[in-house]
A = this chain, B = another copy of it.
Amino acid sequence: MKYSQATDYALHAMLYLVAEAPNKPVSVQLLAEKLGVSQTYLSKMLTKLVKAGLIHSVSGANGGYKLKRNQDDISFLDVIQAIEGTTSLFECSFHHDSACLIQQVVADAEQQMMHTLKSKKIADLVAHIPKQPHERLT
């Protein structure tokens, strides 16, 4: 049970966008190059981030991806849920007459993790990064 690698890509791509925060959009090609992954696959993740409303896409020449205005409010949870979905970690498959106690316990624990991931913003990491070489961001 692990988060998919796609989430890894998405988080790092978002960190790049937040850290570099250029006005002009960043193309998939450039992002894929910086991260060292394939363009086509990364583009799927970015499309998911667009649909989740975290970033904004510009088609056509000189197009690419930009952050939305909420900039500093994008949390880890936002990105993770955009890729992994929002279904809960554990779902009881048995037929109970009342709610499953086991599920309640696990769901409660998951809630705590989600709370942490929600309070932690991508932008929080930027401060810790020396503003020079791009390689450190990948």
Contact = CB atoms under 8 A, between A and B. Distances in A.
Contacts of A8: 90-94, 102
Contact of A2 (B36, B87, B120, B128): B87
A102 B11 contact: yes
Copies in the complex: 2
Classify the interface of chain A: helix, strand, loop or mixed: helix
Contacts of A96: 136, 138
A32 interface: no
Interface of A: 1-5, 7-8, 11-12, 15, 35-36, 76, 80, 84-85, 87-98, 101-102, 105-106, 108-110, 112-114, 116-117, 120, 124-125, 128-129, 135-136, 138
